[in-house]
Structure 1
Amino acid sequence: MGNIQKITPNFWFDSEAEEAVEFYTSIFKDSKVEKVTHYLKTGQEIHGKEEGAVMTVEFKLEGQKFVALNGGPQFKFNEAVSFIVHCANQEEVDYFWGKLSEGGDESKQQCGWLKDKFGVSWQIVPDCLSELLSHPDPAISEKVLKEMLQMKKIDTTILKKIQENH
């Protein structure tokens, strides 16, 4: 039966699971839909969904398994849980920021965090950020942090210049 991933994140959508999975799998490489389940007549008094409607979509993003559930309007996403996208360079930061923020909530974008059009929070983080924020000279680290706190999308070019100019 192969290896089963021990922990699988589950997205609870009202009724947008298929649309969201299509959106996410179009953005990330090594992504695919693995299985779709549908609601049955059984339990209709509990779930309230039409028989045959999509219940869950199992999918992978970058090899990581996820499940999207059409569970109804009871729950909404918030920033208490977010997904970090590690980016090798500024080009990747720009790509993922541009794609995931498309149609999202602009007011919820700060310091590399964004909220996509489904309300899911993402952190688009350049791999070099930790190094830039932990410079041996605390004054430089402080300047880098101060600049980063003013950004929506993190721009490593600006942050690296601060470090280089000292």
Structure 2
Amino acid sequence: MAAETTTAQDSPPTCPVPWDRSDPVQQELSSILRSLKHDAALMGVLSLGNDGVMRSLTADRRVVDAVGLTPAQIAAFQERMPPDFRKDDGVLMRADGTKVPREQWFLPDKSLLPAPMSQEARERFEQRSREDEEKGLGSVEARRKQMEAEGMKFA
């Protein structure tokens, strides 16, 4: 029997990342991001506030889950963002989310949160979800179950 070889064609496609995956702080950040619970409706976002707290938010910006990041983790998160999306105001670079009281993680000042998803955006999401279901790509519930099977958590 001939030995099997794995070629680039046999490997699943991977997306290049702009950060060093072997960096211990990046590895910590990946673990933190994987541990956060997400909006069950799949319309939520992750948001890093100027206070250094990473929040998982619903479409209307209710906090689902949150964690305070260290300055090193904040810098690592910034490295993951495209240059146009990086915050460069200096406030975030001086933040330490681990020093923010836990109750403020879940009840932050509204100025720390992005604007709620517009009604138009919600309708587009719902329309696209209906179209995906009609095409046999699965419902929101089916996608959520698949994501849960892959380790993602939902509130």
- TM-score (structure 2 length as normaliser): 0.29
More helix by share: 2
